[in-house]
Amino acid sequence: MSAEAAAQPTPPDADASPELRAALLDTMRAMGAAHLNVGTAGNASVRLPSPACMLITPSGLPAERSRPEDMAVVGTDGNWHGLFAPSSEWQLHRDIYAAFPDAGAILHAHAPFATALACQRIDIPPFHYMIARFGGSTVRCARYATFGTQALSDAAIAALHGRSACLLANHGMVVFGRDLQHALALAIEFETLCEQYWRTLQLGPPVLLSAEEMAEIIERFRWYGKPRG
């Protein structure tokens, strides 16, 4: 299917409440306040029931000039409804939702330190135990692909296997969480971790945690921050 989403006269699903639209816009503005994005860079989405797939931020519209009603509803077939076309990365979001059932919200950003590392096309090794926060002993960098293409989706999904965050080569970061609040918290944590790694590299090669040490930490993170029950 073409990467170009197609407009349609009626929404593919009515389950995009004003409250959810406002929450998505608030998240995009919070990304700017946290210095994850500048201008029209980056995008965010939240999962909707099929066939709607997602509510996503509009293309080329700064968050400070956007309104809740400007958020676009996109179906699994790429059809969309809204006042503005969806983000040019709508396909990346749609494919991540399809590949990872636990993804309730997705954030993509050109955050400074994540992007600096992504431009070096390097994975982030276990220099700090908080790497485990994202699902494994490393955070991978996806291979380079042009924005808005199927190739980028495929590369990101491969890098996200067993993870909730990855770098996109020469591009930025992508993070998913169970909801918008969780995804935003993870994105801020990830950018902080990228900054720490960047600063560590200025001192020389970091001392890495061992496979055994990371395995213990990953096990501890299985219940970290999760409700009892």
141 to each of 17, 116, 192, how far by Cα in Å? Answer: 35, 12, 16
Rounded to an integer, the average pLDDT of 169-184 is 98
Q: In which band, very low, low, confident or very high, does the pLDDT at 50 lie, cut at 50, 70 and 90?
A: confident
- Can 219 be counted among the known catalytic residues? no
Region 161-174 average pLDDT: 98
Q: pLDDT averaged over the chain?
A: 91
Residue 1 predicted with pLDDT over 50: no
The pLDDT > 70 percentage for the chain reads 91
Which residues touch 90 (CB under 8 Å, ≥6 apart)? Answer: 5, 45, 54, 56, 72, 74, 78, 80
Q: Which residue has the tokens 């992508």?
A: 174
Looking at the whole model, is its pTM more than 0.95?
A: no
pLDDT over threshold 70, residue 5: no
Please tell me which residue in 89, 189, 212, 213 is annotated as part of the active site: 89
At 78-122, the pLDDT tens digits run 999 999 999 999 999 999 999 999 999 999 999 999 999 999 999
Q: Given 1.10.240.10, 3.90.1150.10, 3.40.190.10, 3.40.225.10, which CATH number is that of 6-220?
A: 3.40.225.10
Handedness of CA 147, 153, 154, 158 (dihedral sign): positive
Report the pLDDT value the prediction gives residue 40, as an integer from 0 to 100. Answer: 83
